[in-house]
Structure 1
């Protein structure tokens, strides 16, 4: 089976190229494999040139059709949403040279689900002659607590409760006596030393699998194989939503609303499942319309989202111990949804708004610090890299979370990219506002007499508007010492 998985991965990569690895695409490829070889020969004989890799592929097709059909039985159907990652993990587990595997991605992306499927498959796999252990790592991590949790799944009782070294030796011996094993540590946030805990990594083919929101944690632990779990494609997100909604067909008007809701979930599995669950028994078109209200602002206010999704996302923010990191992260929410934000522009803003430490050495040192901050936010999946490498972007729900945070302290008003024709009503310009972003709207002018009272306002972003004039009175109650104006 390992040989087949290697073959399938190669064919999968060769055929897909820029296509999403969705269930629909995968099924189409399997159907393509089922085309009789004669038909495939005929199709290529009419071409000008038969390439060697095509001829080799034709032979491989004949040898692997039956195993292709078995793939969906081998991996659970629901796991096809992450089939490429699943195959990658499975191949690493079958590779004797890989002792540790790290699975990372943003909160709610499906890391635990993916790891659980692998865990269950190992338990059922007849060719895997070993033990499988699952431990959920406490958010308040300590070596003592983790040793206790591992001892619990091993049914081990320590002879000495207070000596971590002796406890590690006892865990090491217990693992050694059990022979080959795979230990899965779910939701790891801290650096873990396998030897210090008592995990005999590499002995008798023993392996460690961790899930984390941070690629940095995977590197800290020394994972030899690191796999990122990405968001679903639009088609995969729609199929998952319909599955959890429990419906195959929807009224055309309801379907349009649903697709808007799904888009606002940003293809995040946890958000899709939560939203579908909250709307499962809704049939009234009026209730669906009501559900669509506020989509332009945030999806986190929908039923269930604030109790299930928001706390999970918030924990990633809370784990940023550095207030400077938090300030720079919140600043990124001032840009419109799905915006590709130039790194250089962000760093310039961080420096001008004193969000980074002032360096008396050189301006270059401040720029380097800005890049380090953005890299750190990328590593914990609060920002995403773009394909060009010069921009970053925020997942739609991460941005929603940042805006929710900034409604309190510091106070932001973010209405970027909402197609506004006028600035918000004067009542929304409260005295405690620190930053306001009206970027990328269609505001042409600010009405005469408009004079918001915002003595703490430090940043006003009006770029991307066809703004013709701003009345002088607009700046009367805005402190010039904390005021920065950006417009073009």
Structure 2
């Protein structure tokens, strides 16, 4: 009885592996079909992911590392699978058609097909990504030259005040406050450069906060900081253009006053928002002095404003800019080397447009932008300008997008190809 029991026990253990190996022979056709079906699914999935990757790259985003790794694995296995199906399986099928089945080959092909199908199943599961891409890492403020920053006398005390606050261990959040176009962002960037040059911080990064508070966008940017190994130790985080109260914890910034883990420099048009954010120090930026405003206006408009018949009108135009840098630059460039009658018309337009401003912008900024638009050289150029309204505030618009939209809307006269439109003068 013991011998019989032992034989039964051994036989039971042998049945499973024997059945498994026999199944490779009997299930050859179904294993090959399953492999082809799953391979097709993997190819479709790979194509879909590639579309998302291409769109993300066109938008300047960074592809998630896990996505890049998955794509590489899929491409590697796909190349081998293609050869397997087109060479090994095809040769075996031709052999069967000739009535000379090679059972050994059939067995190994079936087993390999089963194994590769399981690999594909795993890749399909791994290919369920939460996100294919992330916004690019917030720009690290360069420590190179200070070219492009106008060191006006009225700005020096502001810069010193902010830098002093950044050096103060008791101050963790500093706000630069001022009306639209006054130069808050420019000041923040220059302060950041100088702070980095003086080794006050290991890293300085900037996050732009949009007009409509988009927490997910800011969270993505903060997540990219961590992916780029910015650990918020001795880091200055610049939150630019904060228009409403922002909870730092909600966007993943580990801001803790007691731990002094990082410092926050924010810019805002609203002093109330700065107080709501519990800023320890609020520094206001005021308009440029008349002398400073005239200096930059002359640089933008050119030496033509020094001619006797134009100088008085140019002075009046400059004063209408109210010492706001963005208005001075915009109007000055629009009127560069223009005739006297155009300057007179511009002065009248600046004075009139303020009364009809309902855009929510500062009236001086609004009138300068309107003037600049009206002085654009052609309807094509104006149309390109208006296309910019399709994008979010602070979005870095690629010229390629404007070209494609413009061609699609037939905005370019006698141009029906993207390549021709790309070289159009309105894209200069």
Superposition TM-score tier, normalisation by shorter sequence:
0.3 to 0.5
Structure 2 length as normaliser, TM-score? 0.46
Larger helix proportion, structure 1 or 2? 2
Rg comparison, structure with higher value = 2
Structure 1 length as normaliser, TM-score? 0.41
